[in-house]
Amino acid sequence: MKLSRRFYNRETLTVAKKLLGKVLVHEFNGEKISGKIVEVEAYKGIADKAAHSYRGRKTKRVEAMYGESGHAYVYFIYGMYNCMNVVTREKGVPQAVLIRAVEPLEGLDTMSMNRYNKLYKDLSKKQIRNLTSGPGKLCIALSIDRTLDKQDLCGNILYIEERENNNNNFEIIESKRIGIDYAEEAKDYLWRFYIKNNPFVSKYMLSFCIYLKSFNFKWM
DNA sequence: CTACGGATTTTCT
DNA sequence: GAAAATCCGTAGT
């Protein structure tokens, strides 16, 4: 089931946590490329020093954040990467959730070609783990760039869905957001959420990787 | 494991 | 002109 407008038009921290475990899909060149969302960050707009829309800043780049909920906000950063957000709240309230990591599901060869110009079966364990474990990495893997800025997530190109066999039996960890050292007191807010012990989280836990390794998981 | 620097260009002041 | 919601490789522990 594709997530509805109603899903996105809620408190941003709620949407952030509820997005964990859902599946991000990009239909591109007639193929479904998808991954399970395992890590997100909330950006709460006007009052959030870490948000691009802090103090009501309304530049061309952040326009999408001011629009209707359930649309994409894709921006370019560090001279070479794109990051994808989901716009939340009603029109005029510029808040969003950054998708920080997904676990690859469909289109594995396309993803591995996009990232490493190799077939999935030829990837090293390290490359598999790094396929989509970060906001810039997942955009490369899923072919998400600024042409998808303002894209309606209730459409048929880029969307998020809840799957029938969805396993919602996971623990959510709350932590500080990453890469926002300039944000003064806002840098300490616990607005990053991720699925505990999932190996595709951007800053994954070593202890759990060692644990998985003992079971000979293929991505270790 | 951690720490650090370089890449690269849009965006905003 | 400086900074940026990142990633990668290398060197040190």
Residue A179, pLDDT above cutoff 80: yes
User: What's A161's domain CATH number?
Assistant: 3.10.300.10
Residue-level pLDDT at A58? 97
Q: Which of A10-14, A100-104, A105-109, A124-128 has the lowest mean pLDDT?
A: A124-128
pLDDT, one tens digit per residue, over A59-109 is 999 999 999 999 999 999 999 999 999 999 999 999 999 999 999 999 999
Radius of gyration of chain A (CA): 17
In a domain, A207, yes or no: yes
Domain membership of residue A175 (yes or no) is yes
Domain count, chain A: 1
Q: Give nearest nucleotide to A149 (CA–C1').
A: B10
List CB-based contacts (under 7 A) with strand B.
Answer: A 52, 57, 59-62, 75-76, 78-80, 146, 206, 209
- State which residues form the domain around A9: 5-213
The answer to whether residue A30 is domain-embedded is yes
Q: Determine whether A6 is exposed, middle or buried from the number of CB atoms within 10 Å of its CB (0-12, 13-18, 19+).
A: exposed
Q: Which residue would you say has higher pLDDT here, A203 or A130?
A: A130
CA gap A62, A212 in Å, rounded: 40
Q: For chain C, which bases have at least one atom within 7 A of a protein Cβ?
A: 3-8
Is A36 contained in some domain? yes
| Residues within 7 Å (Cβ) of strand C | A 41, 43, 50-53, 65, 73, 77-81, 83, 85, 96, 98, 115, 130, 134-138, 177-180, 182, 202
Q: Distance from residue A134 (CA) to nucleotide B1 (C1'), in Å? A: 20
A133: tokens are 């474990």
In-domain check, residue A20: yes
Q: Is residue A24 part of a domain?
A: yes
Average pLDDT, chain A: 93
pLDDT score recorded for residue A208: 53
Residue A219 lies in a domain: no
pLDDT score at A218: 45
Question: What would the two tokens of residue A186 be?
Answer: 């806002």
* Per-residue confidence (pLDDT) for residue A220, from 0 to 100: 47
pLDDT band at A205 (very low <50, low <70, confident <90, very high): low
A218 within some domain: no
Give the per-residue pLDDT at A53.
98
SS (H, E, C) chain A: CECCHHHHCCCHHHHHHHHCCCEEEEEECCEEEEEEEEEEEEECHHHCCCCCCHHHCCCCCCHHHHCCCCEEEEEEECCCEEEEEEEECCCCCCEEEEEEEEEEEECHHHHHHHHHCCCHHHCCHHHHHCCCCCHHHHHHHCCCCHHHCCCECCCCCEEEECCCCCCCCCCEEEECCCCCHHHHHHHHCCCEEEECCCCCCCCCCHHHHHHHHCCCCCCC
